Structure 1
Amino acid sequence: MRILVCAAYLPFPPKGGGRADIWRRIEGFVELGHSVMLLHQYDPNGSLAPREGDFAAMDQVLTARFSYPIERSARRTIRQLVGQFHTPWHAAKALPDTHVAEDLRRQVRDFAPDVIWLDGPWLGEVARGIRHERPVPLLYRSHNIEHLYLRRQARASPRWRNKVAWHVITLGLRRYELGLMRESTRVLDISLDDLAFWSARGVSSIEWLPPLPELALTGDPITPIPSDVLFVGGLRLPNNVAGVHWLVDDVWPRVRARLPDATVTVVGSGPDRELRTHLESMDGVRTAFDVPTIPPYLFGARVLVNPVHTGSGVQLKMLDMLMTRAPIVTRSQGVRGLPSDVVAQCEVHDSAEAFADAVVQRLSEPRVDLDSREAVRRHFTLASLEGALRGIDTNLEDGGDRV
């Protein structure tokens, strides 16, 4: 099968939950024998700009690729604001200029996809245009209830400017998400809780598709990096930053009062100067920022923690934790949207006192039922990805409107 994956940002290197989810699934498609064309937007500036060799590395996996930069101008900004209720901010931002769109259509025609896989709503208008020309099945990957997720990020942000910006980009988004789902042949949701949310609003052709942990595609790391307690997460996102502050400011002093030599390691990408300085000044807190790969840290930890309190969808860090043999302590948000047998693998506590007690207990008695841990991993294999495509290739011209 020829699969056109539409993503709103560069998914490589696969760091952070969203990028990792997209790229690991592409690798899974290829491992299952499918051909993949990636159509994506990227920011040519800033910390997420492509590095030398990123495109070449992706091309080792992809059959074809169309990459186009985010365009910024006063005229585009005004147009995005004026049309916001019809086309939400990020979806309008992803529309390519005319000359880019012509090249895009030509290259997509050459690839001749059997299926369009739309990762999130932001390239919705691009996918609609392609599908108008080539009416093939549209599979929509829902990463979050985006309009709720962005509002929660706004609440979690400490800066008023960011709060306003996060809120502005949600205008018209709920209606837009629902419209894309109604046009899709199949909706594949990352979260069981989110699936129930959309089902209650009339979306019927919807299934659960969990992310693929990195270890579903690779082996255990050869050389683990040891630590007592470990948190892993992108440190650009307000909810992760708030969770880290709660961990080191509220939980960790309680742990150190009982285990003075214990250390917690924070592994993450893109911390701002304020957070970096705060973490590096604290006793018993170690940091590792922008590391090339995460599994050595995960497999070297005695206890894994997730202190994040707000969010949506499924947190990919939780699934990566399940691939290890270490105890897992999390707040309730960390297990949101996961099956009950997966939740049972974690100790769930929302108060700082209870969270600290669990960490101390697990450092002293690191017991894990490895047989049950192994059993729950069946949810997160290539078989789940294969199931998401089942039946699609036998009905290529039946292009959607199933909801």
Structure 2
Amino acid sequence: MPTEWALGAMREQVSGLNFYVIERSIFQRIIRLLRLFRWPSHVASRVLAAKDRAELLTLIQAFKPDAVWLESIYGGILASEVADAEDIPMVCRSHNIEHLYMRRQVAKATSLRDRLVWGLNLLHLHNFELATLRHATRFFDISIDDLRFWKDAGMNNGEWLPPMVDPIFAARLSSPREEEPNFDVGYLGNLFAPNNVDGVMWLLEEVIGRLRAVRPTLRIFIAGSRPVEKIIAAAHKHGVCLIMDPDDVVPILRDARVLVNPVFSGSGVNVKSVEMLFSPSQLVSTTQGLTGLPAEVTRHFRCADTPEDFSTQVLEALDAPDNDFTADRDAAREKFSSSRAEQLVRSMREYIKQHEKSGACA
């Protein structure tokens, strides 16, 4: 259920807002199980009830939209139906190569429940993802590497649209430090997704000991939401400060001289790395943590994939001057401003105008 703050913020920006909560009654669970014969579980749970669907279509017809924006593929059933019914373009935002991402999450899951939850979403996912992106007039991919993957698969209707960082958030995060950070090394990310858990455990079990062998007094934190029990235990074992469910991530990201991203699996763009770029800290990541980002961005990170190399890069980062950033880090940050989205919106407007004149928008 969206918070009142979130609903209020959205209502300030839109003419009308309708949201539908995914129901979890026994009846709805049975319906979703039956839908698994056709769709992945995340798609099946987002198919509207007939009454809700009819009411929403009526509102959409009265609104007369110029296009349909589909945020991720999982609402693709409704978005495709609206686009076809209204004869308007459908635009899709792609955050991952979903069928590869889900397959990796299943492989990393350690509990039967997680393997089942992620595994049910793999059903029909590859075919559904391909069909949805092909149906879209344009799809805007978060990752340069993922866009290349789809082009190699014959999909030529994609464009790159990197994640956008809120300008207020960016300004707070990137402002010069007035005080020395309390920690030497820090990590921030959710602490329950299988790929994050795997990376954090690698950091705790394989890297921290090597760092402390050289500098025993290093101050280290791990921060994030919903930490699983083994992360809690490992953080305690290695004397690492665990910050659970922080309300505001900005002061945390600014509170370490070196920020690290130890992730080893995933797809799309690792948003942690984008947020790290806006901090006044030195940056160290695995290769995977930088996947999908252009070279103008990745060169601001030290990169390593083995415990030995990773710890070496962290130690070198700790010895680097605190403010050795040049103006080109600001140039790299600019890639995640709203200017790229504005450019693509203008392009879509021209497309719609041209097709309205010709009498066909699909």
The answer to whether TM tops 0.5 is: yes
Name the residue aligned to 1:236: 192
Q: 1:114 to 1:148 in 2, by over 3 A?
A: same
Residues in 1 aligned to 2:309 and 2:13: alpha-carbon distance in whole angstroms: 45
Residue number among 333, 346, 354 corresponding to 1:390 in the alignment: 346
Runs of 5+ consecutive residues of structure 1 not aligned to the other structure: 1-48
Q: 1:377 to 1:53 in 2, by over 3 A?
A: closer
Of stretches 132-141 and 310-319 in structure 1, the one that deviates more from structure 2 is: 132-141
Residue number among 237, 250, 259 corresponding to 2:215 in the alignment: 259
Query: What displacement does 1:371 show?
Result: 2.2
Name the residue aligned to 2:225: 269
Residues in 2 aligned to 1:374 and 1:85: alpha-carbon distance in whole angstroms: 49
Q: 1:85 to 1:195 in 2, by over 3 A?
A: farther
Residue number among 345, 350, 364 corresponding to 2:300 in the alignment: 345
Query: What displacement does 1:304 show?
Result: 0.8
Query: What displacement does 1:55 show?
Result: 2.1
Residues in 2 aligned to 1:219 and 1:113: alpha-carbon distance in whole angstroms: 34
The alignment covers a number of residue pairs equal to 351
State the secondary structure of the residue aligned to 1:129. helix
8 Å CA contact 1:118, 1:138 repeated in 2:
yes
Q: 1:71 to 1:209 in 2, by over 3 A?
A: same
Pairing 1:94–2:46 present: yes
Residue number among 365, 373, 391 corresponding to 2:320 in the alignment: 365
Residue number among 114, 119, 133 corresponding to 1:162 in the alignment: 114
Task: In structure 1, give the amino acid aligned to 2:106.
Answer: A
Residue correspondence of structure 1 range 3-402 to structure 2 within 5 A? 49-84=1-36, 86-215=38-167, 218-221=170-173, 226-279=182-235, 281-366=236-321, 368-396=324-352, 397=356, 398-400=360-362
After superposition, the C-alpha distances for 1:97-151 in whole angstroms (9 at most, x for unaligned) are 1222223223333433222111111100111222233222211111000011001
After superposition, the C-alpha distances for 1:311-349 in whole angstroms (9 at most, x for unaligned) are 010011111111123211111101111112212111110
Q: 1:63 to 1:276 in 2, by over 3 A?
A: farther
8 Å CA contact 2:91, 2:137 repeated in 1:
yes
Runs of 5+ consecutive residues of structure 2 not aligned to the other structure: none
State the secondary structure of the residue aligned to 2:55. helix
More helix by share: 2
Identity %: 34
Of stretches 323-332 and 100-109 in structure 1, the one that deviates more from structure 2 is: 100-109
Query: What displacement does 1:258 show?
Result: 1.1
8 Å CA contact 2:286, 2:304 repeated in 1:
yes
State the secondary structure of the residue aligned to 2:259. strand
Provide TM-score, normalisation by structure 2.
0.89
8 Å CA contact 1:139, 1:185 repeated in 2:
yes
State the secondary structure of the residue aligned to 1:275. helix
More strand by share: 1
Query: What displacement does 1:272 show?
Result: 3.1
State the secondary structure of the residue aligned to 2:18. strand
Query: What displacement does 1:372 show?
Result: 2.4
Query: What displacement does 1:80 show?
Result: 3.6
Q: 1:68 to 1:111 in 2, by over 3 A?
A: same
8 Å CA contact 2:254, 2:280 repeated in 1:
yes
Residues in 1 aligned to 2:169 and 2:233: alpha-carbon distance in whole angstroms: 35
8 Å CA contact 1:325, 1:370 repeated in 2:
no
Residues in 2 aligned to 1:218 and 1:109: alpha-carbon distance in whole angstroms: 38
State the secondary structure of the residue aligned to 1:67. coil
Query: What displacement does 1:226 show?
Result: 3.7
Task: In structure 2, give the amino acid aligned to 1:181.
Answer: L
Higher RCO structure (Cα 8 Å, ≥6 apart): 1
Task: In structure 1, give the amino acid aligned to 2:264.
Answer: H
Task: In structure 2, give the amino acid aligned to 1:308.
Answer: V
Provide TM-score, normalisation by structure 1.
0.81
Query: What displacement does 1:68 show?
Result: 0.7
Residues in 2 aligned to 1:286 and 1:322: alpha-carbon distance in whole angstroms: 23
Residues in 2 aligned to 1:110 and 1:262: alpha-carbon distance in whole angstroms: 61
Query: What displacement does 1:65 show?
Result: 1.3
After superposition, the C-alpha distances for 1:76-98 in whole angstroms (9 at most, x for unaligned) are 44444444353222112101112
